């Protein structure tokens, strides 16, 4: 069982320079301390790929907001990553 926000913040530490220089902000849409059952290495890799893709393919003309939510679908928790341009 992993703390979802903690895992995401670990990834942000790895990509800190890329993230801060891109003008990107993040909004979380799940409860603080929410835990998911997953493989730690796989979850870090997945979150890293989602965030780097969001930054890589953003519009250079706008600031970016990445919204991350956690939903339940049947017996599974699903992480949603939505890029919103403002």
Q: What is the 3-state secondary structure (H, E, C) of 70-82?
A: EEEECCEEEEEEE
Give the model's pLDDT for residue 68. 81
> For residue 16, what are the contacts with CB-CB under 8 A and spacing of at least 6?
none
Model confidence pLDDT, tens digit, residues 55-74? 888 877 877 888 887 777 77
CA proximity to 29, closest of 53, 6, 5: 5
Domain count, the chain: 1
pTM of the model: 0.67
Give the residue ranges of DSSP H helices in the chain.
4-14, 16-21, 40-56
Q: CATH number of the domain that 40 lies in?
A: 3.30.565.10
Instruction: Specify whether the CB–CB gap between 16 and 57 falls below 8 A.
Output: no
Structural domain harbouring 47: 2-85
Give the model's pLDDT for residue 84. 46
* DSSP state, residue 30: S
Mean pLDDT within 31-59: 82
């Amino acid at each position: 069982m992993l703390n979802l926000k903690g895992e995401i913040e670990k990834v942000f530490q790895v990509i800190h320079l890329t993230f801060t220089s891109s003008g990107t902000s993040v909004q979380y849409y799940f409860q603080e301390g929410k835990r998911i059952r997953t493989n730690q290495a796989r979850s870090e890799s997945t979150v890293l790929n989602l965030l780097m893709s969001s930054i890589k393919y953003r519009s250079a003309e706008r600031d970016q907001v990445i919204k991350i939510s956690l939903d339940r679908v049947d017996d599974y928790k699903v992480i949603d990553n939505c890029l919103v341009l403002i």
